[in-house]
Structure 1
Amino acid sequence: MAAVVEVVEEAAAEDSSLERLPETSTNGESGTQVCDNPRLTWYEIPTKTAIHMPAKFGGASFKDGPGGTMVVRVERSGKVLREVSAGGEVEVSGIVAKAKVSISTKIGTEVGITVGHEYHKNVTAGKYGHLQYGSWGYSVKWAKYETSADRCGKKLLKSGTAKLPTSEVGWKYWETGS
């Protein structure tokens, strides 16, 4: 059993060392040297931001006021789906797999919304309350790399952005003057 743990740790160290490789020119060469890095393709997620991804079906977004109490309930089921920048749809499985490892195991390509989630909220006098049901997910920047031809650096293949839902769903509340 200890050997399995050592192999996993070794693989993780190898992956992070590849991320630290310098980026090469467009032809994939960084000079006349030859290195012994493995030939691999991998994804990196350099930035992430926590976001609320609203459910995009009727009965998941509400506004009430001015003042008073809001009582809302999800009365339809639906899904919150991932959103990936143009050209990245074919990369979804790799992006999600990397995000599950580096950000949260709760990330997926979609999350189901079920009927029955109810919320009560007092709205400040003179203000309008807004409630929106959805997934607490992440907006990420991603990049797909491969080892350069001389295996001394990494070559960028594709990059983009993605919004990825998690299994954590709930209400987002805010107030406005109108």
Structure 2
Amino acid sequence: MASAVEFVEEAAPEDTSLEQLPETSTNSESGTQACDNPRRTWYEITSKSGVHMPAKFSGTSFKDGPGGTMVVKVERAGKVLREVSAGGEVEVSGIVAKAKVSVSAKIGTEVGITVGHEYRRNVTSGKYGHLQYGSWGYNVKWAKYETSADRCGKKLVKSGTAKLPTSEVGWNYWETNS
């Protein structure tokens, strides 16, 4: 009996060698020392956490109760867009590219929401059920670095936060007393 062999194509490993350089302040030189690191600018994702990014248009957010059964459906099409901290908009392509490699390949700058996603849920007696449709994305903290003047360290150029959607969309459900 012949056995099937599966070949998995792997992405080339990302060069993160410059990320290991020590951080320097401003453009300080360290005497006559000079290193042979290349002059580069790069992004690092310094932290990440999962987040539900609700669609911010009508027909994607619902409340019902108290108790009973909720039956809801996305009634309008639209998009969930990325949110980047002030001053970071010009950095979006670099942040997203780095996040795709180091967080999830499903990350993008926007994700489309289509009509028709239906959901049924029993609501606990006496409680109100809330449903929001959106993208299961990530909150990330990012930093932009460049090689220091002596090329022996790295210098922080800019940093901030971003909420980045993924292609994974769905409902977020919770209950409240009112």
Q: 1:30, 1:66 → 2: CA distance?
A: 68
Deviation at 1:33, TM superposition (A): 1.2
- Structure 2 counterpart SS, 1:87: coil
How many residues were matched structurally?
168
Contact 1:22 1:153 in 2 (8 A): yes
Q: Percent identity?
A: 84
Contact 1:136 1:170 in 2 (8 A): yes
Query: 1:30-69 to 2 correspondence within 5 Å?
Result: 30-69=30-69
Query: 1:1-178 to 2 correspondence within 5 Å?
Result: 8-9=12-13, 12=14, 15-178=15-178
Deviation at 1:32, TM superposition (A): 3.4
Unaligned runs of 5+ in 1: none
Deviations 1:142-176 (A, max 9, x none): 00000001000001111000000000000000011
Contact 1:96 1:108 in 2 (8 A): yes
TM-score, L = length of structure 2: 0.91
Q: When you count helix as a share of all residues, which structure comes out higher?
A: 1
Unaligned runs of 5+ in 2: 1-8
Q: 1:106, 1:124 → 2: CA distance?
A: 34
Q: 1:143 to 1:84 in 2, by over 3 A?
A: same
- Residue identity opposite 2:111 in structure 1: V
Q: 1:17, 1:39 → 2: CA distance?
A: 13
Contact 1:146 1:154 in 2 (8 A): yes
- Structure 2 counterpart SS, 1:172: strand
TM-score, L = length of structure 1: 0.91
CA-based RMSD of the aligned residues comes to 1.2
Q: 1:30 to 1:44 in 2, by over 3 A?
A: farther
Contact 1:28 1:154 in 2 (8 A): no
Q: 1:170 to 1:30 in 2, by over 3 A?
A: farther
Q: 1:177, 1:33 → 2: CA distance?
A: 65
Deviation at 1:30, TM superposition (A): 4.4
Contact 1:24 1:30 in 2 (8 A): no
Deviation at 1:25, TM superposition (A): 1.2
Deviation at 1:26, TM superposition (A): 1.1
Q: 2:140, 2:61 → 1: CA distance?
A: 24
- Residue identity opposite 1:78 in structure 2: G
- Residue identity opposite 2:101 in structure 1: V
- Residue identity opposite 2:22 in structure 1: P
